[in-house]
Each structure stands twice: as C-alpha cells, then as structure tokens.
Amino acid sequence: MTRTANLSTWLLRGTYPRLYVPVVLIILLVSGVRYHYLLQAETSEVHRHAAAELRRASDYLLPRLATTPTPDADAIAGILRDGITHLSPGVQALRWEPSESAQQPALPATEVHAPAPSAPAAPAWFARWLNIPQPLQQAAQRLADGTPGRLTIALQTQPLVDRVWGTVIVQARISALNIFTILFLLTLLLRANARMLRRLAEATNAFRQGYLGTRMEVTGTLESRAMAEAFNDMAGKVQSLVLSLHETQRQQSEQLHFTRQLIDALPLPVFVRHADGTYGDTNRAWQRLFQAPVDPTGAHHASPMPEALAPEHSAQVANAQDNVVAIHPVHATHQPPLYMAYYEAPFTSTSGALAGTIGTLVDVTERKRAQEALQAEKERAEVTLASIGDGVITTDLAGRIDTINEAAQLMTGFTALQAVGRQLDDVFRLYEEPASRNASTAAERDSLPGALQQATHEVLIHRSGERYAIEYTASPIRQHNGLAVGCVLVFRDVTEARNLRHQISWHARHDPLTGLYNRTALAERLTHALFVARNKGLLLAVCMLDLDHFQAVNDAFGNRVGDRLLKETARRLGAFITPSDAVARMGGDEFVLLLGEQPGIPAIEARLAVLMQQLAAPYAIDNRDVNTTVSIGVAVFPHDNASPDTLLRHADQAMCQAKSFGRNQLHVFDVQQDHAVQTQHTRQTRVAQALHAGELVLHYQPKVNLRTGEIIGLEALLRWQHPEEGLLGPQHVLPLVEDTDLQVELGEWVLRQALAQMRQWTDAGMLWEVSVNIAAPHFHRPNFVPRLQDILHTCPEVSPTRLELEILESAALEDMQYMRSMMQSCQALGVRFALDDFGTGYSSLSYLKRLPAETIKIDQSFVRGILEDGDDLTLVQAIVALAAAFHRHVVAEGVGTAEHAARLLELGCERAQGYGIARPMPAHEVLGWARDHAARHAARAVQDAATRRPASA
C-alpha cells in the first residue's frame, strides 16, 4: 500500500521533476563507463612507461658492467649504487649474480636497494584494486674479465599507481564540474518550465473564473514569452468573442423589444398562429377590435376571436375571394358588417422549418362600397358608349379592359366577351409601339389632373392582320377627388385621309423616276446631317456622283435604257447606304451621297472605293450588259467648314477634278491637305537624302545595374547631324517616315549600324547587349523575319542573343496572335525582345503572359514621378512585381537623379537608364565613358565600405 502511494505521489510530481532522476542516472552511468575505459587506458600507459624505464636502466648498467677493469664485488656494488642514484626514483632494487656456468671461482651476488619511497599519493585500496604487478627485467652480461652473470632490475609499483591516481583525480574533478554544471542548468531549466506552467495555470484558472481581462506578463525565456503572447492573443480573441456575443444578445433583446412595440403600434389587428393550430401573440389593435385582453406571456391556446365568430371566420376565410371576409366586431354588433381583407403569411424558425403564420385584417369597407358604386356607373356608361361612332375602350389602372363599344370591336376584331379583362396592348395593337405613345402607359402614369395624350399618326392592327390609320385620344378617368381609377381611349379610322396626305408629301420630296430624294429633301437631310456631325464630332462626307459616258448610253440605246440605267444605279445606291447616310438625285445622271458619322478620311475613301466597284459592275438591261463607271467628288465637313450650298459646290468641283483625271476617279476637295501633302513629301525626300548622304547617326545610351554598377547594355537612338541645324533628335525624322517604305529602309539601316558597332566593341572585348527600336509597321511586314536573318548574317561575329528589339507596348496589343507568332520566329534566331513604354497601353495579365518578351521597360513618365506622385509610385511598384511574377527583366527609363535610382532599388528594380546615369553619346565615346563609370563605381564602393566599417566596429 505504501509502495502504491509512493508511486502515485511520484506520478503526480509532473513530467519535468520525474525526468530529473533518469537524467542523473544516465549521467552517472555514462561517467562510470568513461572511467572504466580511462583506467584501462592509464594502466596500459603505466605499463608502457615501466617498460621504457627498464630499457633505460639496462642501457645504463650493462655497458658499465662489461667495461669494469677490476670486476670484484665492491666495483660491481659501486656500479649498482651509481645506477640507483642515476635511475632513481623509479628503480626499487638492482641485483647482479654470476651465472652457474662460470668456470672461474664465482663472485658473490651483489644486490643494491633504493631508499625507501615517500608516502604514496594513492590510497592503499586503490593500489590493491588496481593490482599492477612489479615490473622486472633480467639481462645476461659478462664482466670485463669474461665472467658471465645476470643483472636483475626491479621497479617500484607505487609511482605507477600514483601516476594513475593523479590522472583519475584530475578527471574526477573535471567530471564533477561537468556533472554539477549539467545538473545546475537542468535544475534552472526545470524551474523555468515549472514557473512558466504555473503562470499559465494561474492565468487559465483566472480566465475560467470569468476574469476575461486576464493577461500573462511577457517575460522570461523565449519560450515563456512565446507562450505568454499566444495565451494573450487567445485570451484577447475569446474576450472579443464573448463581448461580441453579449453585444449581440443585447441588440437582439432590444430588437425584440422594439419589434414588440412596433407591432403594438400598428393600427392593423395582427395575430400569430403556430404550426400546431394554436394562437400565439396578438397586438393591441386586435384587442381593441375583439375586446380580448392579451395574455402577458403571449401564449393564447385558443382562437383570439370571440368563440361566436370563430367558426364563421374560418368558413368565410375558406370561401373568401381576394381574401375579403365579413366580420362583426364585438364592440359594434348593431352596425352593418365591416368588409375586412384578411392577409396571412408564413414565418419560419431559425432552421428554416415552417413555424406558423402571421395574419392581419384590413378594413376595406370604403373600398368595397366605392367598387359597388363604380360598377353601377360603368353599367350606365356602357349604354352611352354603345351609341358613339368612334371606337371607345375603357380600362382600369392596371391596363385591363373594362368596356369596349361596337365601333372599337369592328376596328380591333375583338368582341366584348373576348376583350374585357385582357390587357389593352393585346387588343389595341399599334404598328409602332414607342412607350411614349402607348395608351395603357398613359393611363398608368397620368394621375395628375388635366393629363391628356393624343396621337394623330398611328397604325392599328386588326385581329386579322389588316391595318388602319387612326387618330386617338387617351385620358384618365378620375373620381370626384381627382384620383385616377382608369383610362378612356377614343380613336377613329383616318386611313383614306392619311394615304392622300402621304402621296402628296412623297411626291414633294422624291424624284419620280428613281424614287430617291430630290433637291428639297436633300437640303433638309444635309442640314440635319451637319447638325449631327457638329454634335457628335464626327465627319460628314458630301459626295457628288456623275455617271461616266451616260450620254453615250442614251445615244446608243435610247432614253428608255438610259432611264433603266438610272433606276438600277439608284437601286444600288439605296442598297449601299446605312441609316446614317442619304442619297438623292440632282437631275440627269448626277447623284448626291451623304455619308454620315464617319470616323476619318480613310474610312470615307474605303467606303467610296467599294461603291465605285459596285457601280462599275455590268447592268443587265433588255438582255444586254451596259457598262459604265462613276466619278466622285467629295467635300468633307468639318475639314471643309462651309454652308450646305458651299459643300455641294465644293463636291461638284471635286467631281469635275476627278473627271479631269480620266474619269472613274475619286477626289477629295481639301486645299490645306493638298498643301500639307506637298510639304510632307518634300520633308520625306529630305530625310531620304539625309539617310543616303550619311547624315543620320546612332547615339548609344547605357543601361546599368543600379546595385552593382555593371553595364548591362546600351540602347541605339537615332540622331540627324543636319548640315545647317546641327544635331537633331528623332522627333525630326520618325514622324516624317511613318507608314512609308522609308520607315522600313531606315529601320534596317539602324539594325545594320548597330550590329556593325557591336562587332567593333566585340573586338575590344566588350560583349554588350544593344537594344534597337522597331516601328510597328516595319515589324508587321511579312518579310521582316527573313530580312532580319539576312542582316544578322552580315555580322556573324555578333551573337544574335546580344541584339534586343524594343516594341512599343501599345503596338504589341494591336494584333496579339500575329505579334506573338512574329516574336517567336525572331526568338528562334536568338534575338531577344523588350516591351517599351510599358504601362501606357491597355495591358493585362493575359497580354503579358502571351507576349514572349524577356524584358519590360517602364515608361519614363511614371519613373519621373515616383518621388512626388503616389499613383506613379504604386504603378511602378506594380509593374516591378508583375515582371517578377512572370520572370521578366525590368528596366526603368528616364532615371534623372540619384534619388530616383535609390527609390527604384527599394522597389526591387535594379536595371535603369536615363540622363541621371548617362546621356546618349556617340559610339566612339562609349568605351571612355565605360572606363570612367567603372572607376567611379569602384571609388564609391570603397567609400561605402569605409563608411560602413566604423559602424560595424
């Protein structure tokens, strides 16, 4: 029993205290094993030492015995005593005795002992336990006279034991110190862990008792602080959760109280019926209506209605139409029954299961009586409407037909039985149905006094599909208080009158031969088209068309064929135009075409080129093919910002100019453009002369690693060494050659010059990358890849991997699939790509993923603003992160100051170029700049190292 109690006490001491005893036992066991092997090693060592001492004694005594001149007992004893003195203190005794085979008279045996040793250092028990045997050695030796003998050397065992004992004592002290240190540190660790667990237990108990603000002090070891922080974090979250729960409960209680007050404040009687049929809570309005007090607990286990009325209520609810039942209030039994609308809606529990229903009663007595009065009035109105010659339809507020007279039945094709109750739109169907002309819409929205809607140009569709031109008037039906209760629609058939007006109007605005607009209608359309063009900021093209050689057709085939040709031409023109266009016949073989809402001159010219092809197709007239072409003159607004008459005159002049060019031509009237074209052509010619005369040169701007200072490459930039104006930038060249063959020629020249310069730098030992900007039209040429391959073959010494082509991001997004294919074809040659001015286009993650560019160049407009503009800083940071995510290199353009470079390094962008690093320079200055840059960077590195050394010291 005592042993069991001791075991229980031992187990209750905890893991750390119980771990202490096994650790001590293990330490003692390891120490015992260590000393066992230590004694073995030391014993072996003393044996080796004793053997060495015996050899030394033999080496000392034997030569002396062999050379003794007078070998007598005294001489031998002197040699032995001298050996004791010389070999002390290890030797215990020396003995020489003649051998039994000596022929001469035997000398007596001589034995010399060493003085008694001092007190031993090792205790006697240790010597006995160690049990080291006495070292002895015997050696045969003849004296000088030839007498044989034997020398015996005996060593003392006590020095050997003391030697081992000394080693054991030293190791024991070291072991004791180690064991003490281990036990001391283990004790500290156990005490710290026990203290940590005790603090945790105290905090946990306090937290369990409801002290939610309990927190552990963050002190002690790293583990103690971590545990305290974890506990405090957990306690904070639990405290927040509990406080949030209490707040939620409080809010729910307040919401419940508010809901109770809200229901009691409702003027409508409200009750709750549970799913089992029992009634729950009711409000004060219900109590007042049925004079039944509410149970404070809210638990009514019987119907809250008076028992006399409950069966009647149930039957009326079951048979009620539109939820309207008649109920006798308890407090007004002498009054006629009130019409009550009964509404009931289900409610669910928190689990979603049906819990019961909530019901209410609404007094609709006045509404019911108004409906009865209205019904009587409608019956009287129907008799009146039947005698009216126009069609008359009345509806309710929902647009459902209440009455329809005989005239309306004839025009719609619906009988009264078919129409009443249907929506007005189903019976009164108009060919055009804009919402603003819909009679039912008018009835629904016209709730203000005096609201009225009229329409004089509508087409009514009969039920059979026949159509009638009608005029109608729609107005609301109002009560005496002005409240609208419906709509009355009155309409009449005006088909014959409208047809006559339409014929007169059409002939006044159209050409009788072709059916196209005449001059009058053209003037109206042109004025309207100019108004639209001004408001929308788009172009309007006024085109004058004249059939070529039309008089020859009349002369050859007669006027009838000529008229047929004009009609067919009009038909083709009518098929060509869009809703924003218009076409008219001016007379004879002249037509005017208005092309509205055009985005630009190229779009206008493209459309007219298609029209010229269509009009040039053969005309099949009277079994013969008649061929003709058309000459077109164009005046474009607002480029030609003139009046309608002036635009027509300019278009006619341009048409005459087109005929003067040989017919079947298109000419745009634009004096300024003609002058600009001539000036542009002159400038392009001058650029071509500069290219062939060697006036164009390349300058190179270095790109460096901001962190290491290494030159990672250069960008080739175009310059014009003008004979009169000096060095000009690319803005004086590139806009002039845009979208021309000269642009391609210039781009190939830049590639050749850059590769030739790279070859010179390669000979100088500089393997720099060089970036060349490629224009989008040049890159889109079908033969770009073969031409690039030919150019690369002209400089085989230069690796294609050192050539980088820069493509504008906006140009790369124009035709993604084609750009990707072209880039992959160039990369197959070894060429690399960079997306220039990144961030200025409408790029996205999918575009960056699909475009196989190795480098992204951040547009300088963003880089310059990273020190002041937070948006630019965020954008640059996003681009750097995006490049890192897609494993792309990123180069910042426009780095102007050291502060820009430092901020870029903080953002993770290490590659940059700009005036703050180096301006574009001629090729012959690059090597010198590179040497100076390397020297400056090395000096700056030494200075930085010297600056950091004291801080580190």
| CB-count burial class (<10 Å; 0-12, 13-18, 19+) for 783 | exposed
- Which residues, 6 or more positions from 559, have their beta carbon under 8 angstroms from its beta carbon? none
Residue pair 526/615 in contact (Cβ under 8 Å)? The answer is: no
Cα separation, 57 vs 79, in Å, equals 12
Q: Which of 663-672, 845-854, 911-920, 944-953 has the highest mean pLDDT?
A: 911-920
What are the helix (H) ranges across 838-925?
A: 845-850, 860-863, 870-885, 898-907
Predicted confidence at residue 634, as pLDDT, reads 93
Which pLDDT score is estimated for 184?
83
Whether the per-residue pLDDT at 420 is higher than 80: the answer is yes
Model confidence at 308, pLDDT cuts 50, 70, 90, reads: very low
pLDDT per residue as tens digits for the range 50-109: 888 888 878 888 888 777 776 677 778 888 887 777 776 778 788 888 876 655 555 778
Please, which residues bridge with residue 473 across strands? 454, 490
pLDDT value for 297: 55
3-class DSSP assignment, residue 228: helix
Residue pLDDT, tens place only, 516-559:
999 889 989 999 999 888 888 889 999 999 998 888 788 778 88
Q: Is the pLDDT of residue 910 over 90?
A: yes
Q: Phi, psi (5° rounding) for residue 230?
A: -65, -45
Looking at residue 699, its pLDDT comes to: 96
Nearest Cα neighbor of 474 from 420, 524, 437 is 437
Q: What is the DSSP string of 516-585?
A: SB-HHHHHHHHHHHHHHHHHHT-EEEEEEEEETTHHHHHHHH-HHHHHHHHHHHHHHHHHH--TT-EEEE
pLDDT of 232 > 90? The answer is no
Could you tell me what percent of the chain has a pLDDT over 90?
26
Q: How far is the C-alpha of 706 from the C-alpha of 900, rounded, in Å?
A: 11
Highest mean pLDDT, choosing among 500-509, 657-666, 747-756, 808-817: 747-756
Q: How large is the average pLDDT for residues 616-632? A: 90
pLDDT in the model for residue 301? 46
Residue 435 has a pLDDT of 46
Q: Supply the pLDDT for residue 774.
A: 92
- Please give the pLDDT value at position 427: 92
Least confident of 365-379, 509-523, 790-804, 852-866: 365-379
Q: What pTM value is reported for the model?
A: 0.37
CA angle in degrees (0–180, nearest 5) for 398-402-404 = 130
Cα separation values, 81 from 53, 69, 76, 85, 148, Å? 17, 17, 9, 6, 20
Lowest mean per-residue pLDDT among 81-95, 207-221, 793-807: 81-95
What mean pLDDT is predicted for residues 822-851?
79
> What mean pLDDT, rounded, does the chain reach?
82
pLDDT(333) > 60: no
Work out the pLDDT band at 840, boundaries 50, 70, 90.
Answer: low
Report which of residues 40 and 732 the model is more confident about.
732
Give the Å distances, CA to CA, from 190 to 184, 202, 224, 371. Answer: 10, 18, 13, 93
Residue partners of 519: CB distance under 8 A and separation at least 6: 584, 586, 587
Query: Using 50, 70 and 90 to split pLDDT, how confident is the model at 751?
Result: very high
